[in-house]
Amino acid sequence: MLRHLAERLLSLGLSLFAASLVVFAVIELVPGDPAAFMLGMGATPEAIAALRRELGLEGTPLTRYLSWAGGMLTGDFGISYTYRVPVSQLVLDRLQVSLPLAAYALLLSTVIALPVGMLAAVRRGSATDMAVMGTTQLGIAVPNFWFAILLVLVFSIKLRWVGAGGFPGWEVGLWRGIGALTLPAVALALPQASILARVMRSAVLETLSQDYMRTARAKGLSRRQAVFRHGFRNALIPVLTILGLQFSFLLAGAIIIENVFFLPGLGRLVFQGITQRDLVVVGSVVMLLVFAVIVVNFLVDIAYALADPRLRRPA
Amino acid sequence: MRSLSLLLGGSLVGLFFAAALVSFFWTPHGVEQIAIQLRFLPPSAAHPLGTDHLGRDILSMLMVGARTSIAVAIVAVGMGVALGVPLGLVAAATRGGLIDEIIMRGNDLIFAFPALVIAILITAVFGPSALNAIIAIGIFNTPVFARVTRGAALSLWTLDYIRAARVAGKGRARISVEHILPNIANLLIVQGTIQFSLGILAEAGLSYLGLGAQPPTPSWGRMLADAQTMVALAPHMAIFPGLAIVLTVLGLNLLGDGLRDLLDPRLRRAR
């Protein structure tokens, strides 16, 4: 197990290093001088030069990379060109929206998908199964931002139950905050839940045909007990992997959904960074997103090994 | 069930390809003719799906928009195949070696960037355009095809007839092209269908954010972006482009499922 952990850690470090090189290289390719862009027309060359120094644009690419990567590691993400505040401050503010949104969506999709997928597997071939398969097929095909627009149309415009977007902030109360995140979370969760329900169904089906299920029945467990105690737990292993993979789709989905609902989250921050050509923000936030994806996949890998001892041994 | 998937999926996909092709010669109305007095019209005989905020016919816009979606998705899938399949073949042929390791770790790295994040990086540097959307989606397709190709090729390499070919003196490159590739073509077609549907979704998402096809090129994602602010006034503007995306993606997924069952006899027996 220790050796497995060490190998995964090494690979984690290498992945992060490679990813940081890619992001840095892409940002370096940007045409034009960011300092001149930020100061606008009519700026004196001295002012531009001073700002270039301040932004760390002087020096060789190597020293720039080292100071950028070193900054990322110590929580110094640079100063935003447009907001003129530290990017770390912006990120912390935006995380208060993005993290709860992602967690909410993940919770919704898991709570819906696992029982539904299991039900479909246990009643394989029944009308319930057909309905689940049909609905999830549709759920995968629906773009989440279109679903979001439909939700706004029905619940905000026709029924007037919730606002059409924006976020009041957590200061006004937990429930109002959660209320503002509900439609976005539902819109994000739908395609995730569809995929997850299908994975759960096939994972449970797989376990149902295993010998240990027959043993469980033979020792006197009812079908229901056997499915819950043995089928469900074994089916969770592939489901866990998919959950990890979905995390990156959830992040990408959040970029679009936050824009549909005008939520001040990380996705909207990076999108505004592009339209305002604020490269410090874009580079740092993209790197953070990639960092999150790599770390989550690492954690899933470790959880996987904890859940299934066969995977701990080197292949 | 299987033939139903094929039939339904095939018809939906056929319908959208046909709409895109017909739009080159004929659309019910011109997509560039702006008629403000005709804006926000609900569906009627003259405009079966209504008109948008500039008085343009939505059915005509959808037909021309299908061209954009199909073109972006096809080229992006083609890019994924052109780059990913050779990489997968090489990785399988050199299995366990340094080249294999480099290719697979490179794959993992690309997978760590969500497609949309790649697109965002590219647009941040080169500006938004349909071409950059294609590149972004294509880059994301590459590791998918590399992985599928490698996995399928690895199992073929252990088979007797491949060994026979080696004994006969054929090199690894020649075996990959002459024996491995034709035998994994089925799998690649199925994966291609799935990636095609993901490409349509991705293009719609990027265009919705304004990072894909630029006006005046009609695109389904852009139509939804325009519709969003006016959804209270003209819900049909949002409903029909979304339905077009859903039906196309659904059609491609059903077609992919049907093809997989049809092309893989083992699955046929198992179900």
Q: pLDDT of B108-155, one tens digit each?
A: 888 777 777 777 778 767 778 888 888 888 988 999 999 899 988 988
Residue B270: what pLDDT?
Answer: 42
**CB–CB contact A23 B245 (8 Å):** no
Residue A81 belongs to a domain: no
Residue B169 belongs to a domain: yes
Number of domains in chain B: 1
Q: Between the CA of residue A9 and those of A70, B88, B107, what are the distances in Å?
A: 19, 26, 18
**CB–CB contact B114 A289 (8 Å):** yes
pLDDT one-digit tens code per residue, A15-28: 888 888 888 888 77
Cβ B156 vs Cβ B179: under 8 Å:
yes
Chain A contact set for B205 (CB, 8 A): 143, 145, 256
Domain assignment of residue B155, given as a range: 4-24+45-270
Start-to-end C-alpha separation, chain A: 13
Residue B1: what pLDDT?
Answer: 56
Tell me whether residue A7 is exposed, middle or buried, using C-beta atoms within 10 angstroms of its C-beta: 0 to 12, 13 to 18, 19 or more. Answer: exposed
Residue A268 belongs to a domain: yes
pLDDT at B85 over 90: yes
Integer Cα distance of B185 and B152 in angstroms: 10
pLDDT one-digit tens code per residue, B31-83: 777 777 777 778 887 778 778 777 788 888 888 889 889 999 999 999 999 99
Question: What does pTM read for this prediction?
Answer: 0.86
Tokens of B139: 């880059």
Residue B38 belongs to a domain: no
> In whole angstroms, what separates CA A136 from the centre of its chain?
21
Same domain for A70 and A122, yes or no, is: no
Cβ B141 vs Cβ B193: under 8 Å:
no
Residue B32 belongs to a domain: no
Average pLDDT, chain A: 82
Tokens of A137: 């097929």
**CB–CB contact A157 B232 (8 Å):** yes
pLDDT classification of B267: cutoffs 50, 70, 90: low
Mean pLDDT by 10 residues, chain A (315 residues): 81 86 80 66 76 72 82 81 82 88 91 91 87 89 90 84 76 81 90 89 84 82 79 78 76 83 87 80 86 84 73 53
Number of domains in chain A: 2
pLDDT at B231 over 90: no
Nearest-Cα residue of chain A relative to residue B255: A137
> In whole angstroms, what separates CA A119 from the centre of its chain?
27
Higher pLDDT, B175 or A251: B175
Q: What is the DSSP letter of A100?
A: H
Q: What percent of chain B has pLDDT over 70?
A: 96
> Where is the domain boundary, A23, A45, A74?
A74
* CATH number of the domain encompassing residue B107: 1.10.3720.10
Residue A221 belongs to a domain: yes
Tokens of A133: 């398969």
Residue B269: what pLDDT?
Answer: 47
Residue A312: what pLDDT?
Answer: 60
Same domain for A227 and A101, yes or no, is: yes
Minimal CA separation from A137 to chain B, in Å: 7
